[in-house]
Amino acid sequence: MKLKFLLFITIFFNLKLFSQTTSPFTSVTGIGELNDLGYSNNVAMGGVGISNGSVWHLNNQNPAALTSNIFTTFEMGVSSDLRQVSNNKITDLNGSANLNYIGFGVPIVKSGKWISSFGFNPFSSVNYILYNEEVLENTSAVARYRYEGEGGLTQAYWSNGIKISKNLSIGLKGSYIFGNVKNETSVILTNEEKFYTTHYESSTYNDYNLTSGLFYKKELAEEKFLKIGFVYDLKSSLNADRFSRLERRLVNTTNIVPIDTLINHEIQKFSIPKSYGIGFSYEKLDKFSVGIEVKLQSWDNRSGFEDNYDKVAYKNFFKISSGIEFIPDAQNVDKYLKRSTYRFGVFFKKSPYLINNNQINNFGLNLGLSLPVGSLSRINAAMEMGIRGSVDKTFVRERYFKFVLGSSINNIWFIKRKFD
């Protein structure tokens, strides 16, 4: 079993991990849309994870909650999505699929007193193609614009959760954030269709980040627990190597004629503000768990690229989520589905980015399940159906469906087995 774990890690750590979501909202800021952290079991509960430590799953949202897991665990997930984007004129349907996350955790000290975990997950994503056209003043020529972006940032992390008393755990996650984002704005005139002009920009990012966490678990009665989680992400100032130039390109060829270099590999800073999260969960062992969580991030006019300070408006990020999971009969050896775990969730969030001076609202419904594999492992599935933006306020409305399929492979490596 150890050899299988190491083989999985060797293969997947050499893959390029990214999350490419085809959405116009990924074009709003330089690094794209920030992704919600969490595995498929968290997605199925609306994102609840700060207070929902689990024996069967790793926790990528609150490092302190890792102490709930006592196994050596390998987590992997893939995701796909289908999106309908519409405005007053057109409706577009698109989709994507990709590797979503990888995580590996191991108990350093038995009985869950110290759990260490490392892995990769998408931190942000950029993937959009937008079109527009307008008639130029005092001419009959029409300017056709094409806006395109791709790329995103990946987070490589190392988390540790340590139990400092019977009920209280502390945690720390160190992350290295890296990646590249490319954006192009092209314009072609109907009376000059042999070539088009493009503003090309490429930015390569990297920086370190720290997340601290607290996790409190109190037994209120026999097999009934109150769980409280808190996380704090420090502010990040990403190093951005920026390159930008104007180009002229011939239609239907790969020929590029540089016109002017606007930014020649200048190192700038992109500020991501600090964030907070708090959650409360109530669990009846092997029966059900219900939780509610709130996350806040203080975006302001000192966020984003430093040369855009006071030029780009932001508002604070806010998310509230709630979810429940239950097991009909965990001890039923005859009926497989009664031993499975079922999850439901709901969330509402306000993105920090403004379109037409309005925040982007996102509402979603979630559901999922975990199917036992053997006595310890799980196959996890989650679905999310949501809507964000509105034609009236943000010009664009997006309806989407997201599916995440994950696995939690658990084994006992460092716990002594007892034989009669």
Structure tokens at 164: 């400092």
Backbone angles phi, psi at 235, to 5 degrees: -65, 140
Is the pLDDT at 285 greater than 90? The verdict is yes
Which range is most confident: 28-32, 257-261, 344-348, 386-390?
344-348
**126-131: average pLDDT:** 81
pLDDT single digits (tens) 319-334? 999 999 999 999 888 8
123: closest CA among 26, 209, 33, 212? 33
Q: How confident is the model at residue 23 (pLDDT cuts 50, 70, 90)?
A: low
Q: For residue 416, name the pLDDT band (cuts at 50, 70, 90).
A: low
Q: Is the pLDDT of residue 19 over 50?
A: no
Q: Where are the domains of the chain?
A: 2-411
Alpha carbons 41 and 56: distance in angstroms, whole number: 10
Residues with Cβ < 8 Å from 256, sequence gap 6 or more?
247, 248, 249
Specify the pLDDT at position 26. Answer: 61
At residue 192, does pLDDT exceed 70? no
The token duo for 309 is 């300070």
**How high is the pLDDT of residue 3?**
37
pLDDT level of residue 7 (50, 70, 90 thresholds)? very low
Higher pLDDT, 228 or 149: 228
Question: CB-hemisphere CA count at 13 Å for 163?
Answer: 21
- Residue 2 pLDDT class (50, 70, 90 cuts): very low
Q: Given this model, what pLDDT does residue 223 score?
A: 92
CA separation (Å) from 307 to 193, 297, 302, 304, 357? 35, 21, 10, 9, 20
- What is the pLDDT at residue 255? 73
Using pLDDT thresholds of 50, 70 and 90, give the confidence band for residue 306.
Answer: low
Neighbours of 208 (CB within 10 A): 12
Question: Rounded mean pLDDT of 15-44?
Answer: 71
Q: Tell me which of 3-17, 269-283, 314-328 is least confident.
A: 3-17
Q: State the DSSP code for 174.
A: E
Q: What is the mean pLDDT of residues 281-299?
A: 95
Assess contact for 130 and 149: CB atoms under 8 A.
no
Whether 304 has a pLDDT exceeding 60, the answer reads yes
Virtual CA dihedral for 29, 33, 37, 40, nearest 10 degrees?
180
CA distances from 126 to 12, 152, 239, 245 (A): 22, 5, 18, 20
Using one digit for the tens of pLDDT, what is the confidence trace for 209-219?
A: 999 999 999 99
What gap in Å lies between CA 139 and CA 28, rounded to an integer? 31
Residue 414, pLDDT above cutoff 80: no
Mean pLDDT confidence for 31-50 = 91
Residue 146, both tokens: 């094409």
Partners of 291 in beta bridges: 281, 323
Q: Does domain 2-411 have CATH number 2.40.160.60?
A: yes
Residues in the chain: 420
Dump strand ranges (E) for 164-223.
168-189, 192-221
pLDDT digits (tens, 9 = 90+) for 219-266: 999 999 999 999 999 998 999 999 999 988 777 777 777 888 888 888
Indicate the Cα dihedral angle 59, 63, 66, 72, nearest 10°. Answer: 80
Q: Model confidence at 162, in pLDDT bands (50, 70, 90)? A: very high
What's the pLDDT score for residue 135?
82
Report whether pLDDT(99) > 70: yes
d(CA 386, CA 23): 13
The answer on pLDDT for 317 being more than 70 is yes
Mark out the alpha helices in 173-306 (DSSP H runs).
Answer: none
pTM comes to 0.86
SS3 310: coil
Residue 391's nearest CA partner among 94, 89, 29, 149 is 89
End-to-end CA distance of the chain: 23
Mean pLDDT of the residues in the chain: 85
- Report d(CA 408, CA 380) in Å as an integer: 7
What backbone phi and psi angles, to 5 degrees, belong to 300? -150, -165
Average pLDDT over residues 396-412: 91
Residue 60 has pLDDT above 90, yes or no: yes
Residues sharing a CB contact under 8 Å with residue 223, sequence separation 6 or more, in sequence order: 284, 285, 286
Pair 341, 327: CB distance under 8 Å: yes
Lowest mean pLDDT among 78-87, 125-134, 383-392: 125-134
Q: What is the pLDDT of residue 417?
A: 52
The number of beta carbons lying within 10 Å of the beta carbon of residue 31 is 24
Higher pLDDT, 419 or 273: 273
Cα separations in angstroms, 81 against 98, 100, 399: 9, 12, 11
Q: Sorting pLDDT into bands at 50, 70 and 90, what band is 4?
A: very low
Over residues 148-177, mean pLDDT: 95
